[in-house]
Chain A
Amino acid sequence: MLFTDPVFLTKFLPLVLLGFFATLFSKTRWHSQVLLIGASLVFYSWFKSEYLILLVGSMAVNYILAKHILAQPGTTKSKRILVVGIVANLLLLGVYKYLGFLTVNFNALLDVGLPNPKLLLPLAISFFTFQQISYLCDSHAGKMDAASHNPLEYALFVTFFPQLIAGPIVHHAEMMPQFRKIITPSERAIMFCEGLCLFALGLFKKLAIADSIAPYANQVFTSVDSGAVVTSVTAWGGALTYTFQIYFDFSGYSDMAIGLGLLFAIRLPWNFNSPYKSENMSDFWRRWHMTLSRWLRDYLYIPLGGNRHGKLRQYINNFATMVLGGLWHGAHWNFLIWGALHGFYLIVNQFVRAIAKFFGVLDIVETAKSIRISSWAITFLAAVVAWVFFRATTTSGAISMTLSMFGFVADGAVHMPANLQTTLWVTLAAFAAFLLPNTKEISELFETNLLKRSSALVSALGITSGLAASAAFLASLSLTQSPFLYFNF
């Protein structure tokens, strides 16, 4: 069941909402929590019920481990349990996600003929594993209150269906308190309407924009992956189209998830903040997949030493974090290269800033308009180039396309012109990504104006949401729909 499935929109969601509002009449909170956990498990098992055991098992083991850690946080014993927990989680992730990749590469390298296990990747494993690792870590670090560790809230934190499949990667510190918070009817009403608005905008981003431009990106990448060499124009066209497709697909999904959360009076963290407006790579990673960046920073980069051990170590830590972040997306050399490219970009960015600082021109670099525009353009183009490796299914295809983008085109290169519809949608997508306010800003506008009782703006938001919902609905009638891209991860 996807957020865009008719069965989700017409049956599952209305039923769960009805049930949820019915539980609000109850004086105890656990009714609504049980209902949401049950609904989330149904939602998850809709995709593949076999992996429900895996999810429930993983939750149970982590809950028990956390309980033991919380009994004596910060002690050697709890550290041992933490290590066991992290290893167990990573092992689970490793077996399902990386064993096949490792086997293939081992066989290629050593010719040992190990059988390829070919396991199907359980849905959302990367997301729920990371969330639970952070829970264990914070339990050990004493950031958790043992009294607040209860099975229902823990289960809801892991499984809450709006974020279960593809994030945002939530943190217990932002979720658990909300399960206990008393919300007034007017707060709930604002959140509900805001949720509707975000969900409609997310639907529009996914169905109308991302899915409209996806066929052209698919066409170009399928060609290069099958060995074709494309012209420079085609390569840039394909890469740019995918750049906007992945942004509107994933940010659209995230908006829908956040919108759904708000329908249940739960605020999920923002995942995007106009990443293509970034003026440098560090800024890009503060705006792109923000919850993953946050997790990598808090549970990988900082534990590795962060910037506390000199510039060189900082560069190494940055690079390692990005490579592992790349691999988190999937077991493929292309993801590793994508992560490495971003690691390299970050190092270059930090190095340039360090030099500018050394010469005392950092202020000029940060404020001069021409430099800012150049920085923005370089950052955007660097991201576009990296997306080629993220999207291509073969390394040779990605290299060939990158070479084409930089003018190294062999004779007989294929030119694949985009049709008018794709061109118009990509132009609209670029306009929206570069110039329009993002959903986070719109959401803030929504709250501010409701509080100010600005009738005209509230109406305008209502009309915008209606237009977005209608356009998304009509776009969903298209005979070609693409799956959510981040479901693969």
Chain B
Amino acid sequence: MTHSTNNDTNVSAECNATAPLFKHLGKFAACMVGTTTLCLGAYFATVDNLVEKSEVPGTYKSFLLKDVPGPRIIFESGSNSHHAIDTKTVGTALGMTAINIADNAGYSLEDKVTRLETYTRAGDVVVLPLEWSFYSREKLTDAYVESIFSENRDYYRSMPPLKRLQRALSLPPETVISELRQSVSRPAKETESPAHQLFSTAITLPSGHFVREASIGPGVGVADQSCDDYILGKPDVRKTLKLGKNVKPALARLKKLKARGVDIHFAWPVLAGEGCMSDPAFVKGFRSEIETAVNKAGFEFLGTPSQSLYGQNFQDDTPYHLISAGTDLHTAQMIRFLKAQGHDTDGKPLDLKTFARHRLLELELAEATSVKQPALPVGHAIRMDDPDFRSHVHFSAGWWVFEPYGRWMRDNRAMFQVTLPDSLPVDAMLEIKGITRSRRQDRVNISIDGHLIASSLFRENAPLQIPVADLPRGKALSIFIDLPDAGVARSPLDEGESEDARSMTLLFQSLELTSLTDLKGTQLSVSKDSSIEIETVAVSPLPTPTALSEVSIPPVALKRTPYNLEIDTPKSSIEYGAGWWSQETEGRWMRNETASFDLRVPQSDQSSDGYILRLVGDFFLNKPQPVDIMINEEMVGSATVDASGIISIPFASSKVSESVKVTVNLTEANLISPKAMGLSSDERTLTYFLKSAELQPI
């Protein structure tokens, strides 16, 4: 039996001229290496372009790490420290600014180290209460990979080019393709201020730490398994737990960081629950492997695992998450540990809320570059709820998100961008209507592209008028609004009016490009008000702007805080029942077709022969429709909106006592949200907005 080898071609016989042969082989190798380099290079370029770029960080925690000046105490890990370390208390106790940048235990250890390398400075103190999974997991998790393109872009952007290349070439193609597909089908850029969400977090969680007073109950998979199973995996998995191959290189990098003057401490993650840490892996084996590696790299652990163990009554939704009572205990212990390490100064921590307010606006301004937008129409008032004109105004910096009746300035400064049309009347004015939160008049300075253009007093019925005839046309103008005398911006929560913690100053309601001649004819009421003073600063030709790049604003999920101002509807007259959204400046939205409220009737009016109920409000779709009214659960009739926007319905006095229950039923309601209409990210279904209700005796 003979066995021939494959490819029996007599190679050697024909390989006489070796030089051309090697030339061909070289060509083969060059083509192969070149193609591979080209393909992988293209992949890297694709990923690099898909990961959002912005001056404004993707998360508030990234902002804290990147922008808060040092020296700082930085807590970095997954969500367990997000819950477990009250950084405000730590900062106060140790006299240093303390920030909590702990985010998610599913994120990459290497990338966490990279961002520390990039953003920490000599004098910073880093505490790492890393969750157990950080010590064993080597692969990237799906959640992290998917988020790296948007909210976690700062992890990627913090990397030096080589690490960025490595990270890009570690992302699975299916995720990249899916991201590419989304980026193609993504709607046009939003016109929101990119830091509004970070600003919101700055107000509620200024140092980055999360507070939950009471447990929300066990999360997914928590109740079905023991604490140890949840933390370390099932017994067969726990048995094989060992230090990940990525841990020692990460420790070596941290060691270098320490040599640069950053003090680094390890700590154990908190655990709360029955039966936690009963597995030997917590006391020997895996734990001792971790401890040995950390100690070998020249670091010490603050405390022991058992000192980070708390009872079931301190558990929030998972054994890794503490409620605030547990946080207080753990924070106090951490303060003791850090004091013992010599981190105790007489300094004063930075007021992070104030810092964030200013710095976030600066970042938004830095991000705001020239936008391409349609020119403003002349003679058309652009209301904030007009979907056809949303793209005409770019709210570049200092604004909260769109609401049906306008858009609030977050603080005393904000900027928006508009483009003037090529042809304008010689006396063209840009008129801005709105209200101040205080309802008093406030001075407003308007600068355009860095030049003060106008300074006036502003309030409701006294719009801002900006002369624009001499300004450049056909390009976006950056209009900066400054309220120099408004003082510290306050929120409805500060004023005890509602739970809405957003600070707000001026509600921008509409904008119109018009001429002075038209204004004189239509706004007599304004000029009659002697308190209003309009100063126009001489408009000088604006300098040519420096090279500007395209504005890139990340899509940010909108999370609205309930807005509960009750200005127009005194608490004494209306008590809202079922079917309403929370209070807004001028009233409340109905959720769907039916809603009710109780209306108090003053004693003096209770003896009348009959009554007329008057409802003042607007329909969301701007399409008036018949309304059925029930008084005290009895149908009293159907009415339509009159020319002045009022619904009036008479009814007999027999139905009235101290209060009446009014039920409003919209017979042709169309349940739709601003989001569904493409107006904003507001997902609430809105039908009728009730501004006021009045019961008039006949």
Contacts and interface: CB of A to CB of B under 8 A. Distances in A.
A308 to B, nearest CB: 15
A443 B2 CA distance: 23
Contacts of A185: 18
B30 interface: yes
Contact of A189 (B1, B22, B32, B171): B22
Interface stretch (B33-41, B63-71, B621-629, B663-671): B33-41
A247 interface: no
B7 A458 contact: no
B27 A474 contact: no
Which of B20, B36, B40, B140 gathers most chain A CB within 10 Å?
Answer: B36
Contacts of A421: 174
B259 interface: no
A186 B22 contact: yes
B397 to A, nearest CB: 38
A466 B7 contact: no
A80 B467 CA distance: 112
Given A186-B15, A479-B142, A193 B25 contact: yes
A453 interface: yes
A432 interface: no
A481 B545 CA distance: 53
B21 interface: yes
A107 B174 CA distance: 49
B9 interface: yes
Given A178-B5, A447-B9, A461-B28, A466 B18 contact: no
B343 to A, nearest CB: 40
A475 interface: yes
Contacts of A460: 31
Interface residues of B, number: 42
Nearest to A446: B28
A323 B145 CA distance: 48
Given A267-B5, A458-B27, A478-B173, A473 B35 contact: no
A383 interface: no
A187 B15 contact: yes
A176 to B, nearest CB: 10
B3 interface: yes
A77 interface: no
A463 B139 CA distance: 31
B164 to A, nearest CB: 15
A190 B171 contact: no
Contacts of A465: 28, 31-32, 35
B172 interface: yes
A448 interface: yes
A143 B1 contact: yes
Contacts of B35: 462-463, 465-467, 470
Nearest to B15: A186
A28 interface: no
Interface string A252-289: 00000010000000011110000000000000000000
Which of B11, B18, B22, B142 gathers most chain A CB within 10 Å?
Answer: B11
A453 B24 contact: yes
A20 to B, nearest CB: 18
A466 B20 contact: no
Nearest to B177: A421
Nearest to A177: B5
A459 B26 CA distance: 10
B32 A196 contact: yes
Given A267-B7, A421-B174, A455-B27, A197 B15 contact: no
Given A184-B15, A186-B22, A477-B171, A171 B3 contact: yes
Contacts of A183: 12
B40 A190 contact: no
Contacts of A67: none
Contact of A267 (B6, B140, B172, B173): B6
A186 B18 contact: yes
B7 A443 contact: yes
Nearest to B42: A470
Given A450-B24, A478-B172, A298 B1 contact: yes
B36 A469 contact: yes
A477 B173 contact: yes
Contacts, number: 134
B366 interface: no
Nearest to A467: B35
Nearest to B139: A479
B5 A174 contact: yes
Given A186-B22, A450-B24, A470-B39, A197 B3 contact: no
A193 B28 contact: yes
A196 B43 CA distance: 22
Nearest to B171: A477
Contacts of A193: 25, 28-29
Contacts of A475: 173
Contact of B14 (A143, A189, A270, A451): A451
A200 interface: yes
Contacts of A171: 3
Contacts of A453: 20-21, 24
B4 interface: yes
Given A269-B5, A462-B32, A190 B25 contact: yes
Given A466-B35, A477-B170, A478-B172, A459 B7 contact: no
Given A189-B25, A474-B43, A469 B32 contact: yes
B9 A200 contact: no
B169 interface: yes
Given A184-B15, A453-B21, A478-B172, A466 B32 contact: yes
B32 A451 contact: no
Given A267-B5, A444-B7, A450-B21, A197 B32 contact: yes
Nearest to A477: B172
A200 B18 contact: no
Given A186-B21, A187-B12, A269-B5, A470 B40 contact: yes
B21 A440 contact: no
Given A171-B3, A184-B12, A478-B173, A462 B142 contact: no
Interface in B161-195: 169-174
Contacts of B173: 474-475, 477-478
B301 to A, nearest CB: 30
A440 B8 CA distance: 12
Contact of B24 (A184, A258, A269, A458): A458
B36 A470 contact: yes
Contacts of B3: 171, 173-174, 269
B32 A190 contact: no
A215 B12 CA distance: 46
A143 B174 CA distance: 54
Contacts of B39: 466-467, 470-471, 474
Which of B12, B22, B28 gathers most chain A CB within 10 Å?
Answer: B28
Contacts of B6: 258, 267-270, 440, 443
Nearest to A465: B32
A473 B40 contact: yes
A371 B66 CA distance: 73
Contacts of B38: 466
Contacts of A478: 172-174
Which of B27, B38, B170 gathers most chain A CB within 10 Å?
Answer: B27
A263 B459 CA distance: 81
B217 to A, nearest CB: 31
A258 B20 CA distance: 26
Contacts of B15: 184, 186-187, 190, 451
13 contacts: A174-B3, A196-B29, A267-B7, A268-B6, A440-B6, A451-B15, A458-B31, A465-B31, A466-B39, A467-B39, A470-B35, A473-B36, A477-B173
List the 10 closest A-B pairs by CB distance, nearest first.
A466-B35, A462-B31, A470-B39, A462-B28, A173-B3, A186-B15, A466-B32, A462-B32, A466-B36, A465-B32
Given A143-B1, A461-B28, A479-B139, 16 more contacts: A171-B3, A174-B3, A174-B4, A184-B12, A258-B6, A298-B1, A440-B6, A447-B9, A450-B25, A451-B9, A451-B11, A453-B21, A458-B27, A462-B31, A462-B34, A473-B169
